[in-house]
Amino acid sequence: MLKRAWFAVLLLTVGMIGHCAAARSTIELTTGGKTRSFTPQALLARPDAAEIHVPRDIAYGTPMTFRAVPLADLLDEADLPADSVLEARATDGFAAQLPMDLVRNRNPEAAVAWLAVEDPAQPWPKLKGKPVSAGPFYLVWVGKEAASVRSEQWPYQIAHLATQPSPSARWPALGVDPALPATDPIRAGQTLFVTQCLACHRLNHAGSAAAGPDLNVPMNPTEYFQPAALHRYIRNPASVRDWPGRTMPGFPPDQLSDREIDLIAAYLAHMAQRKVGR
C-alpha cells in the first residue's frame, strides 16, 4: 500500500509539472472581452511570422535575431478608446502598461512591436544572471525609433496580453492632486512612474504588478531615503544595497536621465501625502 501511495504521489507531481509547463508555453490574448490562447507552434506557423533582427535588445544586452509575429496582427481591429493600453503580464509578476497607439503602429519609420516566439526545438540563451530565457514569448521592437522605447516596455516571459482602460482611469489612486496645473513637473513624473515603475510596483495598492513592493503604503521611499540616495538607488540599486534575491535592475542614462529620475522622485514625494487606507 505504501508503495502504491508513493507511486500515486509521483504521478500527481509529474502531472502537475506537465500542466505548469504547458501553461507556461501558452500565451493568452484578451481583446474586446474575448480571450484567445496561442502556443508557440501555432504562432510560428502563421504566415505573418518572420525572422527579425534586433540590433539593441534590452533583455539580452546584445544584438539578437528572433522568429516573431507582428503584434498589431494579433490585435483585434475593435474600436478602442485612444487612451486605452495593452497590459502585458509576465510569469514573474511584471505587468507593463503599453500605449495602444504604440503597439498598433506598423510604420517602420517609428517603432514596431513584434511578439518574439521561442521555438521549443531551438531554445534561446539564458538571460544574464537568470536560470531562464526570455521566452517563450517576448515583446521586442524594431524600426527607426525602436531605441526610444523604454526598457520596461520590452516585457519577456509574457503569459497574458489584455486591452485595458488607461492606468489613470483604471486606478484613480495613482492620481496627483487635481489642483496641480497641467504643466506641473509632478504630472510628468506620474507619466514616467506608470511607464517605468508600475510594471514591477504598485502604489496606493493600485496596479497589476506583483514583482516588487507597494511604493506608498505603508511607507514611501522618500520617507526613508535621502534624495541623493534615492536617486542613486534608482540609477544603480546594487550600489546602495544588494542581496542574492535582488531583482530590481538599474536604469542607465539612456533609459532614465537624471532629470527624469528627479521627476519620478518628485511624484513619489507628492504621493507620500496622498496615501490611501492601509
The answer to whether 211 and 247 have CB atoms below 8 angstroms apart is: yes
Give the pLDDT band (50/70/90) at residue 151: very high
CA distance 98 to 88: 8
pLDDT digits 0-9 by tens, 219-264: 999 999 999 999 999 999 999 988 888 888 899 998 999 999 999 9
Give the separation between CA 44 and CA 202, rounded to whole angstroms: 34
pLDDT for 85-100, tens place per residue? 999 999 999 999 999 9
Q: What is the model's pTM?
A: 0.87
Q: What is the pLDDT of residues 10-36, one digit of tens each?
A: 334 434 333 344 345 899 999 988 999
Query: Which sequence spans correspond to the domains of the chain?
Result: 27-165, 169-271
Rounded-to-integer distance, Cα 23 and Cα 107, Å? 33
Share of the chain above pLDDT 90, in %: 81
| Contact residues for 254 (Cβ-Cβ < 8 A; gap 6+) | 147
User: Yes or no: is domain 169-271 CATH 2.60.40.420?
Assistant: yes
Q: Is the peptide bond before 218 cis (omega within 30 degrees of 0)?
A: yes
CATH of domain 27-165: 3.90.420.10
For residue 270, is pLDDT > 90? yes
Look at the block and give the residue holding cell 516571459: 157
Q: Which residues contact 60 (CB under 8 A, 6 or more apart)?
A: 125, 127, 128, 134
Pick from 187, 193, 192, 221: nearest CA to 206: 193
Contact 52, 140 (CB under 8 A): yes
Please, are residues 146 and 108 in contact by the beta-carbon 8 Å criterion?
Answer: no
- Contact yes or no for 66/54 (Cβ under 8 A): yes
Decide whether 27-165 matches 169-271 in CATH topology: no
What pLDDT shows up at residue 16? 39
